[in-house]
Structure formats: C-alpha cells, structure tokens
Homo-oligomer: A and B are copies of this chain.
Amino acid sequence: MKILIVGAAGMIGRKLVERLAKDGVIGGVKITHADLVDIVEPAAPQGAPFATTTAAVDIAASYVAPKLIAGEPDAIFLLASIVSGEAESDFEKGYAINLDGTRGIFEAIRQRHLRTNGQYRPRVLFTSSIAVFGAPFPSVIDDEYFSTPLTSYGTQKAISELLLSDFSRRGFFDGVGIRLPTICVRPGKPNLAASGFFSNIIREPLAGQHAVLPVSEDVRHWHASPRSAVGFLIHAASLDTSRLGPRRNLTMPGVSVTVGEQIEALRKVAGEAAVSRIRREPNETIARIVAGWPSNFNAKRALGLGFNVEASFEDIIRNHIEEEHGGRIG
C-alpha cells in the first residue's frame, strides 16, 4: 500500500514515520511507498523497508492537494495544522490551513474518486482535537456531547470533522476522525503553549532540569502519550470502518489526572529528587485559559472499537523514559 502523511515533520508525524518504518506494514498490509510532506521538508526515515519521497508543501496553496493525491495513496494521514494559539492570533492563516487546506485535500480526493469512476476511495485519518469542545462542561464528557469550540482552531477542527463525515457518507473516501487528548509527555524543549506545563513538569525534571508549574495541583486534564497517539492513527488505518457507521469522529481514550496526580506519578517513577525540580509560579492568565479546557471523557465508543491508551499516568511517564531516555534516567 502507498501512504501519504501530511504533517510528517511534526512531533506526531515523525513518531508515526518512525513506527511505520519499523513495522513495514499497516494492519498486515505491506507499505510499498510513503510520501512525506510538511511545510518544511520532513526527514526520510532510516532503514525503512519501503521507498520514501519527501517534500515541503503548503496545503493552503490550492495547486498542492491535487498533486499530493495524483499518486492515489491508499491511506492518507492528515496531521497538519496551525496550532491553537496561532489560529487565534492569525485568523486568516488558521482558516486557510486548518479549514481550507483540509477541505482542499478532501476535495482533491473526491475529484480523483470521480475521475476513476469511484474506484479510488482511500482511507483518510484526520487528527482532530478535544478543542472541538468548549466550556462549560459536564464533569465527564460522553461520546454524544456537542461541539461548541471556544477557539477558531477548535472551530476549524469541528468543521473538518463534519466534512470528513459527509465525504465518507457520500463514499468519496473512508475517513476516521481522531480526537486526540493533550499529548503528554511532549518531547523537545519547553514551548510557550498554554498547555506546555503539563509536559514540562515531567520532561524537565526527568532531564535534571527545573520546570515551572503555573496552575494549582487540582487542575484536571486529559492525556495520552505520543506513542498512544501513533497507535490511535495506525489502529484507525486498519479498522473495519463498517463498525463506525456514519459517525466518523471519535474521542480517543486518555488518562484523566490532576496535576497533583501527575506529580505523584513522577515521584513514584523517578523519586523525590525529580519532584523537587518543580517550581510553583502561579500564572493567572494560564490558569484562566486552562479552566476553559475539558478535563475528563468517557471514550466508550473508541474503547469498544479497540483503541488503547496507557492505564495510568505512571505508564505515560515510563513510555516517555523508554522513548526519550533509552529506558533509564538519572
């Protein structure tokens, strides 16, 4: 099978490519070619058992999508988006990439579908977000809760979900929308995203560095590891979609913990020394933003469809240590 990954240079994109290069298959079917694109040219994976091509493209440019689809990839991973903060500060860019860029790819697939008299009908895996939900929330959000996003980013994701469902229902492609939890522990450097501290307070202490905690310990949030995110995408790529019916967008399972429970898990896995590297510096702006985020879900449907996540936040930390520290710290 031929695959296309749009957004292959991002954090999840790179980990997905790495995993596919190791597996060589999706759902038992051999990958023959991977086309990896992003706004910057993605790195080709080392020692992959399939051919790869890489390119820097901007999906906001209307000529791009038809070119990406011309090779008729069997599975298309759509991971590209402008992040929440940028979509809020740059309204036009957010809509151009997160909505029109996504729709442009959906539309290019539809055109190819029509041109091949319906023979071309790829699997499409789209990463959505829990940002499609907006406060106030019930204490646990179930699979039938409505989307009332409070950001343009969340709006663009919710609209893309609706398009994905309609294009799938019409038979143009076979789509699955994957509503990701907050990904934790994010590897790399601390960033300025309001959600950054959820990862910073684990990653930095494990690396012997100090980290800042800007909110109180009773803040609850919904997490999954980068490894689980990749697992969701691969599971969705080989899922029997007849089990989905027309409701194509799924809230992924996650681990709901308070910041205090995150710190407790860090203590258990890495000891008091690690925990002592967390500095409390309350920040009202961040606290206010975070208060508008959902904190707990009942992801019953996705669990029933075989999507898996870590059993505890300790497991999330252990996965991080395995992937980023070769299995050992300190």
What is A's interface to B at a CB cutoff of 8 Å? 91, 134, 144-150, 152, 155, 158-159, 162-163, 165-166, 169-170, 246-247
Contacts and interface: CB of A to CB of B under 8 A. Distances in A.
Contact of A152 (B134, B144, B155, B166): B166
15 contacts: A144-B145, A144-B146, A146-B146, A146-B147, A148-B246, A148-B247, A149-B162, A149-B166, A150-B246, A152-B166, A152-B170, A155-B163, A155-B166, A158-B162, A159-B162
A148 B246 CA distance: 8
Contacts of A145: 144, 146
- Of A134, A145, A163, A166, which is in contact with the most chain B CB atoms at under 10 Å from its CB? A166
Given A134-B246, A150-B246, 20 more contacts: A91-B170, A134-B247, A144-B146, A145-B146, A146-B147, A147-B147, A147-B162, A148-B165, A148-B246, A148-B247, A149-B165, A149-B166, A152-B166, A152-B170, A155-B162, A155-B163, A155-B165, A155-B166, A159-B159, A159-B163
A107 to B, nearest CB: 9
A130 to B, nearest CB: 14
A169 B149 CA distance: 10
A250 B285 CA distance: 31
For this chain, the copies found in one complex come to: 2
A146 B165 CA distance: 13
Nearest to A146: B146
Nearest to A142: B146
A291 to B, nearest CB: 15
Nearest to A135: B246
Contacts of A148: 165, 246-247
A134 B246 CA distance: 9
Nearest to A166: B155
A145 B138 CA distance: 13
Contacts of A159: 159, 162-163
A267 to B, nearest CB: 38
A155 to B, nearest CB: 4
Nearest to A150: B246
A150 B150 CA distance: 25
A163 B155 CA distance: 7
A293 to B, nearest CB: 14
A115 to B, nearest CB: 15
A139 to B, nearest CB: 14
A165 B133 CA distance: 13
Contacts of A163: 155, 159
Contacts of A169: 150
Q: 10 tightest CB-CB pairs across the interface, nearest first?
A: A155-B166, A146-B146, A159-B159, A144-B146, A148-B247, A155-B162, A158-B162, A159-B162, A152-B166, A150-B246
